[in-house]
């Protein structure tokens, strides 16, 4: 009989089914570690998938028109002509001027910097401005009415019908602005808007030369007109007239891209949860395979080949992996239903909760792939099981580190992580950093567990009491869980701590700015004629003049004779195109401030009449646009061309609360250019701040005030919201870590049962067995948590040092609390899972076990 041909693949499935009979509940326990990771990813994928569809469906309401042309400059005659020609083609047209300004809520005398949006026409053409009452979104346009953002209404306890002073005019609040097209709840926290009719804007007196106004023109075209085609054709003309364009399709692309970044980040967070779960799967399969060695040896004795034995268990794990993936996908789909509530503040559109089959497919594929990959590592040892084990345990220990398959599986796993990261990040550098960090993190944790085992063996405290010695020796004896638990708990701890530290760094960075003697209020948009009066008012209240600088708005026209068009044509692309696109706010003075340091060239403070100005560029900016000392620049100062040479490069400390500039002119060039002034001061308390702001807004309605206390408050709110989303996603990792912990402890319980029962039979009291278990898991938890915290500290120190450039001073008390909590939690779970051994007579357990 041809034995080789005789084996039916179906028999392998049948055998896998039979063999799993008495272990199914445990197999599900193994796989439970990955369920949450799959759930997190399916939920995020579904959100991404639905978001793409929602953006497609709601793109028109994001922009509210077929075409939005916008500029930071008031359109000149040719531009106006172009705008009018488009208006003639349109079926509907609207115009908006927006800028930041102070407003005063008359009733409560509260002042606040807001985004003024002065509107003319029937905008929006798609979707609507949502207000309470809804009719106010239409009626406010005809009278001296305004729509005020809900956050402002709540902050200043304002009611519909109250008055608000904007510039020189008082407006009646016609309604609460609930939602403007394309604006998320998040955006309204940062820059709350007030809508008013454009016809009253001039009378507010806020529009003066030098004011920073954004001009928007909205068009609705007949459906027969191909807007994208028209915009492509006119693109150069728009460019020439300093007009930027947004269409429904470009808005769709840009919105999609920004949310792709968010879902990308969140899916990486979810993936870490899944990887954590994979450690659980690998460790569980490892123990499972160990217990199955005898069965494999028997089957090998009866004629089963090593490959067939391998496949029997691979089938079991893959099928269980599929079931785990199905469970994860179902849970993910359920979680997806609540995610819109979590994300609502970040989204400018309504998010649907339909089931995403694509996300479920991805979850299933990922679940099967991951359970397959991570179980391969322990499963390959099945190939080495000798049939000799049926008559005696092999005397020669298998040397797995020389097995080429094992290294191949390691490579496969790293390759899989890299491929997954690449698919999310679309960038090899970030992919390498992500994969490298994971590998290094795992490496450190593995190294620490190996070192712990070695050190405990080497320096075993023989003089300690029996209970401590037993608890300690459990860390290195056969079937110990040290490596698995250190990996799972350590990685989870590192993750939790990183989130905690990053939040502290961000908040620390902001609060640093509010410390004593630092400036905390910036007043800008001060017109030259108002400068002296504002200074007098400030000093009159006893407030210091920390800085008072003129600001001129300019654009870069040429670099070494090359215009933007020339540079685009130049194949060498010597200078960054971005250099020509952005508007620059610059100042002029004869000396450097304490936050500036020349790193190349020579600073020139004054330029003689007729000489070319030697400007100073901030180091980062010079690098970005790729220019250096000696390069010739031509600036467009509101229509007047001014040549200059890069005279020096400066290093600027951006962390100081003061005005800092990318381009600094010497005195003698821009002195007569249209400009506004900025004044930086420090107010000692909230009462002085309110008094100062009220006096300023009443006397100079056009000036704007940045109150850092308010900014700090807003940033805290934003961080809270971001923190909630991150914590929500990190929650998957934390719970997965707990499941891995519980399942690892449960698995080790099976291993330790016999020994604990034997101890009890020999006369050990429940308390002694309890203490041995508690000590073992307390030590494990402490080692793992300590290593995880160290990894997080190192990572966050690097982040603070190299990215945020601030000193890293972690909250050591919080670190200690995390260390103690995780150690105690591990010990508690260990003891709780072993309680069946503690509370029952030994014979009962022995019988049950047999």
Query: What number of other Cβ atoms are within 10 A of residue 336's Cβ?
Result: 24
- Residue 9: CB minimum distance to another protein, A: 11
Q: Which is nearer to another protein, 400 or 766 (CB)?
A: 400
Residue 298 or residue 453: which is nearer to another protein going by CB? 298
Residues in contact with 834: Cβ distance below 8 Å, sequence separation at least 6, in sequence order = 745, 749, 752, 756, 769, 770, 773
**In this complex, which beta carbon is closest to another protein, that of residue 3 or of residue 515?**
3
For residue 400, the minimal CB distance to another protein (Å) is 17
For the chain, how are helix, strand and coil distributed in percent, rounded to 5?
60, 15, 25
Name the residue nearer to another protein (CB basis): 72 or 751.
751
Sites of contact with another protein (CB under 8 A): 1, 3-8, 11, 14-15, 18-23, 294-295, 298-307, 386-388, 390-392, 395-396, 850
Q: Sign of torsion, CA 29 35 37 38?
A: positive
Least separation in angstroms between residue 761's CB and another protein is 21
Considering the complex, state which of residue 390 and residue 518 has its C-beta at the smaller distance from another protein.
Answer: 390
Task: Choose between 307 and 767: whose C-beta lies nearer to another protein.
Answer: 307
Residues whose CB falls within 8 Å of the CB of residue 642, separated by 6 or more in sequence, listed in order: 554, 613, 634, 635, 636, 669, 670
Please, which residue, 142 or 394, has the CB nearer to another protein? 394
Nearest approach, Cβ of residue 410 and another protein (Å): 24
Q: Residue 343 Cβ, how far from another protein at the closest point, in Å?
A: 47
Between CA 704 and CA 276 the distance in angstroms is 50
Shortest Cβ distance from residue 17 to another protein (Å)? 10
Compute the least distance from the CB of residue 29 to another protein, in Å. Answer: 17
**Closer Cβ to another protein, 46 or 385, answer by number:** 385
Least Å from the CB of residue 720 to another protein:
53
Is 296 or 657 the residue whose CB approaches another protein more closely?
296
Q: How far is the CB of 499 from another protein (least distance, A)?
A: 44
Backbone φ, ψ for residue 821 (5° rounding): -60, -45
DSSP β-bridge partners for residue 644: 613, 633
Q: Nearer to another protein by C-beta: 388 or 510? A: 388
Q: Are 166 and 101 in contact (CB under 8 A)?
A: yes
How far is the first Cα of the chain from the last one, in angstroms, to the nearest whole number? 39
DSSP letters along 214-272, please? EEEEEEE--TTS-HHHHHHHHHHHHHHTT-EEEEHHHHHHHHHHHHHHHHHHHHHHHHH
User: Smaller CB distance to another protein: residue 303 or 415?
Assistant: 303
Which CB sits closer to another protein, 310 or 374? 310
Q: Which of 20/33 has CB closer to another protein?
A: 20
Contact 215, 241 (CB under 8 A): no
Q: In whole angstroms, how close is the CB of 777 to another protein at the nearest point?
A: 30
CB atoms within 10 A of CB 274: 28
* Smallest distance, another protein to C-beta of residue 297, A: 8
- Residue nearer to another protein on the CB measure, 536 or 847: 847
Element (H, E) at 556: strand 547-559
Residue closer to another protein by CB (options 231, 312) is 312
- Overall size of the chain counted in residues: 850
DSSP codes of every residue in 339-354: HHHHHGGG-SSPPP--
Min. distance of Cβ 385 from another protein in angstroms? 10
**Rounded distance between C-alpha atoms, residue 98 and residue 82, angstroms:** 21
Q: How far is the CB of 21 from another protein (least distance, A)?
A: 5
Nearer to another protein, 21 or 429 (CB): 21
The DSSP symbol for 125 reads: S
CB of 2 to another protein, least distance (A): 8
Q: How far is the CB of 837 from another protein (least distance, A)?
A: 21
The 3-state secondary structure of 704-762 reads EEEEHHHHHHHHHHHHHHHHHHHHHHHHHHHHHHHHHHHHHHHHHHHHHHHHHHHHHHC
Q: For residue 183, give the DSSP letter.
A: -
Long-range contacts of 96-99 (CB under 8 A, 24+ apart): 96/120, 96/123, 96/198, 96/215, 96/216, 96/217, 96/218, 97/198, 97/201, 97/207, 97/213, 97/214, 97/215, 97/216, 98/213, 98/214, 98/216, 99/206, 99/211, 99/212, 99/213, 99/214
Q: Of all helices (H) and strands (E), which one includes residue 334?
A: helix 306-343
Which single residue is written with the structure tokens 């879902």?
263
Taking the least distance from each CB to another protein, the nearer of 295 and 636 is 295
Q: Beta partners for 704?
A: 524
Residue 166 token pair? 């904007």
Smallest gap, in angstroms, from Cβ of residue 502 to another protein? 49
At closest approach, how far in Å is the CB of 265 from another protein? 45
Maximal C-alpha separation, the chain: 109
- 204, 776, 73, 745: which is closest to 470 by C-alpha? 776
Q: How far is the CB of 288 from another protein (least distance, A)?
A: 12
Q: Which residues contact 794 (CB under 8 A, 6 or more apart)?
A: none
Residues 6+ away with beta carbon under 8 Å from 377 = 282, 285, 286, 406, 409, 410, 413
Which residue, 22 or 458, has its beta carbon nearer to another protein? 22
Quick one: which of 226, 726, 777 has its CA closest to 500? Answer: 726
Cα distance between residue 253 and residue 157, in whole Å: 38
């Amino acid at each position: 009989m041809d034995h080789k041909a005789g084996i039916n693949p179906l028999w392998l499935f049948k055998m896998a089914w039979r063999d799993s009979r008495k272990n199914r509940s445990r197999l599900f326990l193994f796989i439970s570690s990955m369920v949450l990771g799959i759930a997190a990813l399916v939920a995020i994928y579904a959100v991404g998938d639905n978001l793409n569809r929602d953006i497609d469906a709601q793109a028109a309401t994001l922009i509210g028109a077929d075409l939005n042309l916008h500029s930071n400059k008031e359109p000149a005659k040719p531009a106006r002509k172009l705008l009018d020609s488009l208006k003639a083609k349109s079926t509907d047209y609207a115009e908006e001027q927006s800028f930041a300004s102070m407003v005063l809520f008359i009733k409560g005398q509260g002042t606040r910097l807001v985004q003024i949006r002065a509107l003319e026409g029937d905008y929006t053409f798609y979707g609507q401005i949502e207000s309470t009452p809804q009719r106010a979104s239409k009626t406010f346009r005809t009278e001296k009415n305004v729509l005020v953002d809900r956050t402002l209404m709540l902050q200043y306890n304002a009611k519909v019908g109250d008055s608000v002073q904007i510039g020189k005019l008082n407006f009646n609040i016609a309604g609460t602005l609930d939602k403007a097209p394309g604006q998320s709840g998040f955006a309204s926290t940062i820059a709350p808007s007030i809508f008013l009719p454009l016809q009253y804007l001039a009378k507010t007196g806020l529009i003066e030369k030098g004011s920073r106004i954004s001009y928007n023109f909205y068009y609705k075209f007949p459906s027969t007109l191909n807007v994208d085609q028209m915009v492509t054709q006119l693109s150069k003309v728009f460019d020439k007239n300093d007009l930027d364009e947004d269409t429904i399709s470009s808005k769709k692309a840009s919105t999609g891209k920004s949310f792709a970044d968010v879902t990308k980040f969140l899916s990486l967070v979810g993936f870490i949860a899944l990887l954590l779960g994979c450690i659980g799967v690998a460790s569980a399969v490892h123990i499972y395979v160990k217990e199955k060695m005898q069965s494999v040896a028997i089957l090998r004795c009866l004629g089963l080949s090593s490959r067939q034995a391998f496949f029997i268990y691979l089938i079991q794990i893959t099928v269980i992996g599929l079931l785990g993936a199905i469970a994860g996908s179902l849970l993910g789909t359920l979680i997806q239903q609540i995610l819109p509530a979590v994300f609502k503040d970040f989204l400018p559109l309504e998010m649907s909760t339909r089931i995403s089959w694509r996300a479920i497919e991805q979850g299933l594929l990922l679940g099967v792939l991951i359970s397959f990959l991570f179980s391969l590592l322990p499963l390959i040892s099945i190939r080495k099981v000798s049939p000799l084990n049926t008559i005696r345990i092999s005397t020669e220990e298998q040397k797995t580190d020389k097995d080429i398959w094992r290294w191949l599986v390691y490579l496969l796993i790293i390759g899989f992580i890299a491929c997954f990261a690449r698919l999310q990040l679309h960038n090899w550098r970030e992919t390498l950093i992500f994969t490298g960090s994971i590998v290094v993190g795992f490496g450190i944790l593995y190294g620490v567990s190996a070192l712990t085992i070695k050190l405990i063996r080497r320096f075993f405290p023989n003089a300690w009491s029996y209970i401590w010695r037993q608890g300690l020796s459990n860390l290195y004896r056969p079937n110990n869980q040290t490596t698995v638990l250190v990996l799972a708990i350590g990685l989870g701890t590192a993750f939790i701590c990183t989130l905690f530290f990053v939040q502290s760094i961000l908040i620390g960075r902001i609060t640093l700015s509010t410390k004593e003697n630092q400036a905390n209020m910036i007043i800008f948009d001060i017109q030259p004629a108002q400068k002296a009066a504002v200074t007098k008012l400030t000093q009159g209240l006893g407030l210091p003049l920390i800085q008072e600088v003129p600001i001129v708005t300019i654009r870069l026209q040429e670099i070494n004779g090359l215009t933007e068009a020339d540079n685009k044509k130049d194949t060498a692309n010597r200078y960054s195109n971005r250099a020509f696109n952005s508007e620059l706010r610059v100042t002029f003075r004869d000396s450097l401030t304490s936050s500036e340091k020349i790193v190349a060239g020579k600073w020139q403070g004054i330029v003689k009449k007729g000489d070319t100005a030697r400007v100073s560029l901030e180091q980062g900016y010079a690098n970005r646009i790729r220019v250096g000392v000696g390069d010739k620049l031509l600036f467009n100062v509101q229509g007047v061309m001014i040549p200059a040479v890069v005279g020096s490069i400066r290093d600027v400390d951006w962390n100081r609360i003061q005005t800092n500039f990318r381009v600094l002119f010497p005195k003698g060039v821009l002195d007569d250019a249209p400009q506004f002034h900025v004044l930086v001061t420090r107010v000692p308390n909230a009462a002085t701040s309110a008094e100062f702001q009220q006096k300023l807004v009443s006397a100079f309605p056009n000036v704007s005030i940045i109150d850092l206390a308010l900014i700090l408050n807003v940033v805290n709110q934003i961080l809270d919201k971001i923190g909630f989303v991150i914590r929500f996603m990190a929650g998957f990792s934390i719970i997965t870590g707990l499941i891995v912990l519980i399942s690892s402890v449960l698995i080790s319980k099976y291993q330790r049962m016999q020994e604990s029962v034997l101890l009890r039979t020999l006369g050990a009291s429940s308390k002694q067995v309890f203490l041995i278990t508690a000590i073992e898991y307390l030590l494990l938890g402490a080692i793992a948590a300590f290593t995880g915290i160290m990894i997080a500290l190192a990572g966050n120190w690097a982040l603070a040092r190299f990215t945020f450039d601030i000193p890293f001073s972690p909250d050591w008390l919080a670190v200690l609390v995390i260390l103690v909590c995780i150690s105690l939690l591990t010990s508690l779970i260990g003891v709780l899972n072993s309680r069946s051994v503690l509370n029952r007579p030994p014979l009962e357990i022995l019988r049950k076990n047999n």
